[in-house]
Structure 1
Amino acid sequence: MKAEDVRDLFPITERWLYFDAASLSPYCTPVVDALKAFSVERLDFASLYYDRWYGEIEDCRRLAAELINASPEEVALTKNTSEGVNLAAGLVDWRKGDEVVVCGCDFPTNVYPFLNLRRRGVAPRYVECRDGMVAVEDIEAVLTERTRLLSISHVLYGSGYRLDLREIGRICREKDVLLHVDAAQSLGAIKVDVKEAGADFLSAPGYKWLLSPLGTGLFYVRKEHLEGVEPPVVGWLSVNEPEKLDTRGFELLPGAARFEAGNKNIGGFLGMKAALQLISSIGQRQIEKRVLGLSEALADELDRSGLKVLSHMELEHRSGIVCIEKGKLTRGFLRKHRIVATIRRNLRLSPHIYNTEEEAAEVAGTLSR
């Protein structure tokens, strides 16, 4: 399937100019079909289908692992990005006096769990943004001999600036610093390869660019970090042979599934499986080409319409996010003209594979009125 051919799978495009994937992607029909099927199966069969559902969830894990070039054993299925970031913060053997580096303009999800380490004597250090970007040399300059971990977003939520993960990973390896990547604004739109990036940990939600239900996400942990680690949370499904119900002791699962302590959001992950199958059928490289092409077309149309584009549009730093000065634009104006986007300090537009160049031109023309 080609990226350009999926528009009919997204009924929302018939009613709205939807440019808000960076906030919440709309459902596609395969995801809705999966959710409906689960609801009917629970209605008619309930616990009789547990084994089948959990088998399909393992298919979801496999698809998620393939997407980021990891093994299924290195992937935990999570509720959201926050759960993954907290796992990353909890899996490091911190010592008093250690430092963790975070980004001053990052989303709080990727900062608060590390600030919470202050109570353990871990000091946060910040790499700051300049003109909506984070320079690799600024990252390198803030790393010290006490830095244990760098946590950075692949794409900055407030500007759309895409960082060079390969170069950042190289620097971290040279300085013996662990790397956690928040892929909330890239995974599903931009190709992410954890091996190429040299990432130790990665967190991402399902509900943005991965086209999946709320309450789904994934957490990657490099296999070597699973050895001898004590999970911050343990439950009856964290262990081998959980049905033994042994209260005298337990043996943890060998893979990242040990971090999934209890019953899962079954319907959500069956929907995520359907979304990942769609992404796989198109191909991540084709999706990236399409999304970056749409964001370029959108930025060009906005610029021609006299609107100030704030995002860095060089190919190596481009993402699916295009930000402009909001001026006097309001949510009410956007709603009146059927445009869905995010207004905070600026106006953030984020096209995905269901959008078109014609929509980009219409949005730009409307916003410039």
Structure 2
Amino acid sequence: MTGKSLSALRAEFPLLQTCTYLNSNSTGAFPRGMEAVLQRYSRTLQEWRDEVWEGWWADWHAYADAVARFIGGPPGSVVTDGNLTTLMGRLATCFDFQGERRRVVMTSLEFPTVPFLWSGFGRYGAEPVVVPSEGGRVNEEQLCAAIDERTRVVSLCHASFATGALIDLTPVVRRAHAVGAQVVVDAYQSVGAVPIDVQALGVDFLLGGAHKWMCGSVESAFLYIRPELLPSLRPAATGWMAAENPLTFEPARDWAPSARRLASGTPAVLPSQLSQVGLDLLNAAGIQTIREHSLRCTARVMARADEAGLPVVTPRADAQRGGVVTMRFAGDAQVARRLVAGGFVCSYRGGLRVAPHFYNTLDEVDRFMDQLVAEARKEAA
């Protein structure tokens, strides 16, 4: 995929005409194709017939399978729902935390929902263990050392929302499986920006969502399940869509054989329809091209930060960072607010986060950094 092709795809994002938007780690730019989906949905509601569900049912499954293909999984291995927390909580009800094997190993870089959720399962016997980070990232050897025969689940982010640090999943998955533990990966901050092949990695479960790097709906998350594990999963927090044959409207006798067994009630179809638009654009760009462009852009951000003396907490090595560069300096929160007010959109989460995507250009990165440096100097004066 050439730069010209990326330039053509950039035209699909109207937001980029109104500001300098480097905030995909918070919310990705929405493609113009979503408007047609919304209009079609509105007409459907105005002309409602129950038969609509035949097409909606197909759309819901088609998007889940499209996500599965995007991350290297087979059809039927992905289920979608409104947010990652809902799916992770439902998945957690499948685990038995009685006996010696009750530990949940995680890192100090997790998004707040993860430790909060697993601490809640303490009432059922779960025992959270947190591996600390150092220098903005977690050492994989230290993480592996915390995984032993007492571990039920390893729950970790692929890329940190706070620092952009990327974890090498391969040794972690190998260690977890060696001691009989299972691995739950939060890929919300990597999927769409970093190539992921769930089958090559051997992860047991991988969660993500559409509204950041996948340029999709804010109400759309997904859960991948390693197919061999499906028959063993019996979620407690479930609903009629998780049944084997829900559309018969008969009492449920068994769970669906696919990842749909982790579904809940009536599905939110519109988020899947909206998110398909962004996923199609990611596929048009190609995930390897996206990754290469991302690395160029984040390298430029770090180089410009170094020139200005602004401390970067994101790991420098390509293999150790996702699509985010985080800087921490005196007055960084105030600088972030002034940047956003001036149309240079970034976000602050304990540090000023810059997140260029495939629809951004190096010229944009430079304009953004020019303004950031000027504001940082003004703050320091």
Deviation at 1:347, TM superposition (A): 0.4
Q: Does 2:208 align with 1:176? A: no
Q: Does 2:147 align with 1:131? A: no
Deviation at 1:242, TM superposition (A): 2.4
Task: Say whether the 8 Å CA contact 2:170–2:201 is kept in structure 1.
Answer: yes
2: CA distance between counterparts of 1:96 and 1:31?
A: 49
Q: Provide the residue aligned with 1:116 in structure 2.
A: 120
Counterpart selection for 2:316 from 310, 313, 318:
313
Deviation at 1:27, TM superposition (A): 0.7
Q: Provide the residue aligned with 2:357 in structure 1.
A: 352
Distance 1:289 1:36, change over 3 A: farther
Counterpart selection for 2:244 from 228, 240, 243:
240
Residue type matched to 2:372 in 1? L
Q: Which stretch of the first structure deviates more once superposed, 12-21 or 235-244?
A: 235-244
Distance 1:153 1:297, change over 3 A: same
Task: Say whether the 8 Å CA contact 2:79–2:262 is kept in structure 1.
Answer: yes
Q: Provide the residue aligned with 1:231 in structure 2.
A: 235
2: CA distance between counterparts of 1:81 and 1:242?
A: 23
Task: Say whether the 8 Å CA contact 2:216–2:278 is kept in structure 1.
Answer: yes
Q: Does 2:348 align with 1:343? A: yes
Q: Does 2:88 align with 1:85? A: yes
Task: Say whether the 8 Å CA contact 2:79–2:222 is kept in structure 1.
Answer: yes
Deviation at 1:42, TM superposition (A): 2.4
Task: Say whether the 8 Å CA contact 2:72–2:198 is kept in structure 1.
Answer: yes
Deviation at 1:339, TM superposition (A): 1.2
What does 1:209-288 correspond to in 2, within 5 Å?
Answer: 209-247=213-251, 249-288=252-291
1: CA distance between counterparts of 2:315 and 2:247?
A: 53
Q: Provide the residue aligned with 2:379 in structure 1.
A: none
Distance 1:123 1:26, change over 3 A: same
Residue type matched to 1:34 in 2? V
Deviation at 1:243, TM superposition (A): 3.3
Deviation at 1:64, TM superposition (A): 0.5
5+ residue gaps in structure 1? none
1: CA distance between counterparts of 2:341 and 2:234?
A: 52
Deviation at 1:46, TM superposition (A): 4.7
Q: Which stretches of structure 1, 4 residues or longer, exceed 4 Å deviation after superposition? A: none
Aligned length: 368
Give the TM-score normalised by the residue count of structure 2.
Answer: 0.92
2: CA distance between counterparts of 1:243 and 1:195?
A: 31
2: CA distance between counterparts of 1:306 and 1:113?
A: 38
5+ residue gaps in structure 2? 375-381
Q: Provide the residue aligned with 1:18 in structure 2.
A: 21
Task: Say whether the 8 Å CA contact 2:148–2:176 is kept in structure 1.
Answer: no
1: CA distance between counterparts of 2:341 and 2:37?
A: 33
Task: Say whether the 8 Å CA contact 1:102–1:127 is kept in structure 2.
Answer: yes
Deviation at 1:279, TM superposition (A): 1.4
1: CA distance between counterparts of 2:298 and 2:50?
A: 45
RMSD of aligned Cα (Å): 1.7
Task: Say whether the 8 Å CA contact 1:180–1:200 is kept in structure 2.
Answer: yes
1: CA distance between counterparts of 2:242 and 2:201?
A: 28
Q: Provide the residue aligned with 1:62 in structure 2.
A: 65
Distance 1:121 1:6, change over 3 A: same
2: CA distance between counterparts of 1:199 and 1:335?
A: 38
Q: Provide the residue aligned with 2:149 in structure 1.
A: 145
